[in-house]
Amino acid sequence: MASGAGDHPNLTYNELYKLLTNFWDNFLYPADVTQEKTINSTILAENVQGRMDATRTFDGRELNTEYLFRLFANLAATPNSIGLLGVPISYEVSKFSGNQYISAATRVMFNITSLNLVVPIEIDTWTTWNTQGQMTQYDGIFKYWQ
């Protein structure tokens, strides 16, 4: 567990939902550009630990800021480059359950400019938060990514 992960607040369902949507609001373009420029996003705890299914575990605020925000901000800066990923432009939380720990299925619309496509990708996540409202851990999987 990441340091600070034992710092579990007693947040309400609505507070947890607000934390989750704040993260997704900042994941979208152009807010992701603002987050990546901070180098250490304060949405994330200092010792955050994150993992996405087909990648590795990311430790610390700087590395997670780079992975979660800079990766997609760089794609937005080079819209005509060919790639498997697109720029996140909108989201819809399709399932939500929260009680100190959150699990949610979020449908994110990605714009792949070079291919003239906008595609929905479902991302299932499990996250924890500290008393400062910062994400301490996340684990996610991309679903239905044909």
| Residue range 37-84, pLDDT digits in tens | 999 999 999 999 999 887 889 999 999 999 999 988 888 888 777 777
Domain ranges of the chain: 13-143
**How much is the pTM?**
0.89
- CA atoms of 95 and 37, how far apart (whole Å): 31
Task: Write out pLDDT tens, residues 85-124.
Answer: 889 999 999 999 888 778 788 999 999 888 889 999 899 9
Count of beta carbons in the 10 Å neighbourhood of residue 35: 23
Whether 28 and 35 have beta carbons less than 8 Å apart is answered as no
- CA atoms of 80 and 114, how far apart (whole Å): 5
The CATH class for the domain spanning 13-143 reads: alpha beta
